[in-house]
Amino acid sequence: MTIAAGFICSDGVLLASDTLYSGYQQQYGRKFWTLGKGTSLLIIGGAGTEAGLKKIKERVEDALQKEMSSVKAVAVIEKAIKYTHALLKPHPDERTQLLIAIRVNGKARLYHNPGGEAVVIPLDQEVSHCVGAGFGLGLYFARYLFQAGMSMHWARIIAAHMIRNAKTYSNGYCGGDTHIFELPDTGPPNWLKATSEIEELEKHLGSVEEALKVVLPDGSQVSEHTLTERFARLTEVILELRRTQYVRLSGVQVMVSDGDLRAAMGQPLGSPPALLLSGGALTPSVQPTTPIVHEPPTDPEEPQDPEDPKDKS
């Protein structure tokens, strides 16, 4: 079943997944597709078998009409699920669990089919949702890190971090590349799949994890008091970075000698904050910065959704 996730953002809906399909043989391919005619635009996908996901996608694509309301789009999707269940007769554990972003009248909403059933409902009570074998781990990161009102720019970072950890700790149930799809309230949809782009997103919170590791004892003679001070000071620095809208932590460099901890966390604007711990004292040096927001490309309203070379029907 692997993993797929959706986030309701202030400016649209963001969807993310790995590319490993469940089944007896390992197969890889994309799990979300952009479909649209006229003003009707949606992104559909999720977790499950390759046959199930692709068949539902094909049935929805064939039935979509121009100027279709969200109610009619949901009816089309439910009909496609029923048809696919009748055709493939999947085991309950192999039912397709969908996440669908539908945009109508300048607003994108997130839908899902609980338990893989043929009933599609909007996600109203939560701002994030995960499906697939790695959903438990995914929900932990999504609900711990993602907050209502966040933009897709920041949701990208959380999604990349979440999928990376699911692939690392799910005992082989999640794997392959990470794909991120965005359906903004206005403008064209966006598909992030380039390895370099995903790795850059993973560095943001990955560097924080590395910083946490250097706070912990490494076998050297470190007192309980020093460890307590390290945690307290690192927390202060992180909170200060949040207050100053610091963009990212990357390139952590650590040297531990005679109980001293020096971690230099670089940042793209050339004014890295310095963390220096010596004798229980940690001094942050942080300059306020403005977040770097990468605007989506100004493509036509309904761009062609290129076929992934791995995705062969």
Query: What are the tokens at 61?
Result: 């694509």
The pTM assigned to this predicted structure is 0.75
C-alpha 82/C-alpha 38 separation (Å) is 26
Nearest Cα residue to 27 out of 39, 19, 35: 19
81-106 residue pLDDT tens:
999 999 999 988 889 999 999 998 88
Domain-wise residue ranges, the chain:
4-193, 199-282
Give the SS3 label for residue 233: helix
Nearest Cα residue to 180 out of 164, 168, 172: 164
Provide the 8-state DSSP code for 11: T
Q: How confident is the model at residue 226 (pLDDT cuts 50, 70, 90)?
A: confident
- 162 close to 138: Cβ distance less than 8 angstroms: yes
Q: How confident is the model at residue 282 (pLDDT cuts 50, 70, 90)?
A: very low
Q: Which residue has the higher pLDDT, 227 or 125?
A: 125
C-alpha 28/C-alpha 110 separation (Å) is 25
Write the burial class of residue 235 (CB in 10 Å: 0-12 exposed, 13-18 middle, 19+ buried).
exposed
Nearest Cα residue to 3 out of 47, 33, 45: 47
C-alpha 110/C-alpha 122 separation (Å) is 6
147-193 residue pLDDT tens:
999 999 999 999 999 999 999 998 888 999 999 999 999 999 999 99
Q: What is the CATH number of domain 4-193?
A: 3.60.20.10
C-alpha 128/C-alpha 125 separation (Å) is 9
* pLDDT value at residue 9: 98
C-alpha 199/C-alpha 206 separation (Å) is 10
Which residues, in sequence order, are CB contacts of 268 under 8 Å at separation 6+?
247, 248, 250, 292
Query: What are the tokens at 210?
Result: 């590395």
Q: How confident is the model at residue 20 (pLDDT cuts 50, 70, 90)?
A: very high
* pLDDT value at residue 251: 43
